[in-house]
Structure formats: structure tokens, C-alpha cells
Amino acid sequence: MKILCTQENLNQGLNVVSHLAGKNTTLPILDNILIKAEDGIIQLSSTNLEIGISCRIRGKIEEPGKTTVPARLFADYISLLPNEKILIEESEKKIYIKCTDQETTIQGMNAEDYPLLPSLEKKNKIQLNIGTLKDAIKETIFAAAYDETRPEISGVLMKITEKEIRLVATDSYRLAEKIIKVEKKQVGEIETILPTRTLQELIRILGVTAVENLDIYLAENQALFCLDEIEIISRAIEGSYPDYQQIIPKECKTKVVANKEELVKTIKTTSLFSRSGVNDVTLKIFPDKKEMVISAVNAQLGENVSRLKVAIEGGENEIVFNHRYLLDGLQNINSEKVVIEIINNTNPGVIKPEEGEGYLYIIMPIKQ
């Protein structure tokens, strides 16, 4: 293999693929990236056996072939080179690199031993704006379960219906749901549970490309994301997602509208006095005073009571939330004012933006 390309093109490609290759002690070749120069196309790819990423880069193939090279070292090295032409030549698993006044040889591994990236048939295309998808992932992913004792909720549900794309995540203590309306009628309904690692990698890559839209192809056990020269393929999580619709409260006894920034700052302040491990803050709502009182008591440290002017509909009420869950949700709402809807301290509370539809965040109260 012998190729010529610019440092800029190679560096951009490596930014996309090299991140996935990690310290893999059982299969060392997964620490490498695969470089393929065949049929007039130079392609970089990497996989961790769950996710596969490939990226085509522009360049000139002088001799076709393929090889693998340690991802971290190669990416670090290329990133430090000046933006000039780079010659890469492989011979007997040694990769020779020349750029201006620098000559380097890196020890590679046999390309034949590199695992094949899975593939997925490109049918039932869903097209989405990159910004819309990135926001929707950020607004839901944090609510997914950390541990994998219940694997089906350790990922994010992506559900396609005729006119909507829904992203849902829950760890059974709180739930986030984002609905994206689509104008073009979608072909067929499908539900896929995507691993959080896949979505994190996707967000990272969406951040380093200048592309505007991406194409998504979903199957029950796989998902494929295509952005111009980049393809990300991932396995999906097996199992069926819980029927979360039933826990969304259908009614509300007290509705509070508060300034988001003020509320976040007050909860941060009060939470300094929460009981550690419980993380409880108490919200008391007084319609006659138009006031929400946020408080916490910690026998060792002390206590805090803060009063916040808010708009209230409905009766007096009281609920205890985990302040971390509360802040997670509030920080993902892009609205000057937020709505909090409460029934009582046994039913989940609902948080949503005052303006704009399509986002819902539900928290289970701490029962006392």
C-alpha cells in the first residue's frame, strides 16, 4: 500500500475513527485502525465489536492495499505534523510515514486479522437535521440507567412512527421523553434500543463534522448512521422497552411556573444541606403567597430554607425530590420558564418547558 494525502484530511478522518479504538487486552488488534486503499477509495475504520465506524478520506492511491496501525500513536503523531502532504507506505507490516522534514516508521499489524465491520441494508431511510438529533440525544441520554442489571433500560429507545421520532430514556427513578415531529411520512413503524455508548460516540462525531443532515437506518438489532463520508454502525440492545406511557401522569393538582435560572440556583444552594445518600430537597407550594419554599435539613451540617416567587395554579402541595434528578432535568430544558406539575408526594412530578412542545421529564418523589 502506498498513499498520499494532506495532513488536514488524514487528521480529520482520524478524529472520527481513532477514538473508538481503546486498550483492548484480549484482542490487541482492536487498538489499531484499519487503513484500506482499494478501488480508488481510501477508508479508515475502527471497531470495538459493538460499534463500527468508517470514514473515507480524499487522497491519491499510488499502490492499493490495506494495513492496520496503532490508533492512539498514529492519531497523536499525525495531529502534530504541519498541514503538508503526507506519504504513507506499508511494507511487511511496517508503516513508513514521510512529511516535510520528518520520517517515521510505525509497527503495524496484519489487516487480514482485523474483524469485519457488520453491515446493514440501507432501506427505510430516516433523514434528520444533525442539530435536532444532537439536542434530542442530550435531552434524554442522561436519564438512562447506568448499570446493566436491566439491559433494556441501559440504552435509549428510538421509536419511529408515521409522523414522529421519539427518544426515551429512564432509570426507573426518572424518565425523559423527546418527540421530534417529521413532516415527511415515515415508512413503517420500528422501535430500537440504542446503547448509550453508541449515542455518545455519535454526538462526538456529529460535533466534528460540518454536515447538516444525516440518514438513519434502523433494524430491530442494528442501527446505521450515515453522514457523507462517515458511517457508524451499532448493535442494538435486545429486549422490549417498558411501557412507559402508563406512568406519565394524566392529571395535576398543582401547577407551578418558575424562572429556570432562579430555580436552578436555589436548588443548588439548598442541596448543600441535603442528607448525603438521600439528596432530598423539599418543595412546598403556597398559592396564596405565590411562593415556593425549598428546604433541606442535615442533622450534622445544618439547614436551609429558600423562598422563590412563582406563578401557581391549583392548591397547596408538597413533594420531596432528589436534587440531582431535578437539576439534571432542569438543565436540559431550553426555556426561560419551566412548568412543574404535581399531584401529591406518591405520584411522579412532571417538569417541562413553558414554551415549546415535545419535551417531558418525570421524577419519582422520595416518599417519607
Judged by CB under 8 A, does residue 286 bind a copy of itself?
no
4, 61, 87, 106: residue in contact with a copy of itself (rule CB under 8 A)? 106
For residue 265, state whether it binds a copy of itself (rule: CB under 8 A): yes
93 is an interface residue for a copy of itself by CB under 8 A: no
Q: Does 49 bind a copy of itself (CB under 8 A)?
A: no
Residue 323 C-beta: closest distance to a copy of itself, Å:
13
Q: Is 306 in the site for a copy of itself (CB under 8 A)?
A: yes
Environment class of residue 35 by beta-carbon count within 10 Å: exposed (0-12), middle (13-18) or buried (19+)?
A: buried
Instruction: Say whether residue 272 binds a copy of itself (CB under 8 A).
Output: yes
Could you tell me the smallest distance in angstroms from the CB atom of residue 261 to a copy of itself?
A: 12
Q: How far is the CB of 354 from a copy of itself (least distance, A)?
A: 22
Q: Does 331 bind a copy of itself (CB under 8 A)?
A: no
Could you say whether residue 172 binds a copy of itself (CB under 8 A)?
no
The answer to whether residue 304 forms part of the interface with a copy of itself (CB under 8 A) is yes
First to last CA, the chain: 68
Under the binding rule (CB under 8 A), the answer on residue 39 touching a copy of itself is no
177-206 burial code (b ≥16 CB/10 A, e <16): bbbbebeeebeeebbbbbbbebbebbeebb
Q: Applying CB under 8 A, does 300 fall inside the site for a copy of itself?
A: yes
Asked if 302 touches a copy of itself (CB under 8 A), the answer is yes
- Say whether residue 94 binds a copy of itself (CB under 8 A): yes
Neighbour order of strands in the sheet with 164-170: 190-195, 155-160, 164-170, 174-181, 359-363, 349-353, 337-342, 254-259, 311-314
Is 83 or 129 the residue whose CB approaches a copy of itself more closely?
A: 83
How many residues bind a copy of itself (CB under 8 A)? The answer is 29
Does the footprint of a copy of itself cover residue 105 (CB under 8 A)? yes
Q: How far is the CB of 35 from a copy of itself (least distance, A)?
A: 15
**Which of 84, 212, 301, 331 lies at the binding interface for a copy of itself (CB under 8 A)?**
301
Candidates 4, 41, 61, 81: give the one binding a copy of itself (CB under 8 A). 81
Q: Which of 1-9, 43-51, 245-253, 297-305 is the region at the interface with a copy of itself (rule: CB under 8 A)?
A: 297-305
Applying CB under 8 A, which residues contact a copy of itself? 70, 73, 76-77, 80-81, 94-95, 101-107, 265, 268-269, 272-273, 300-308
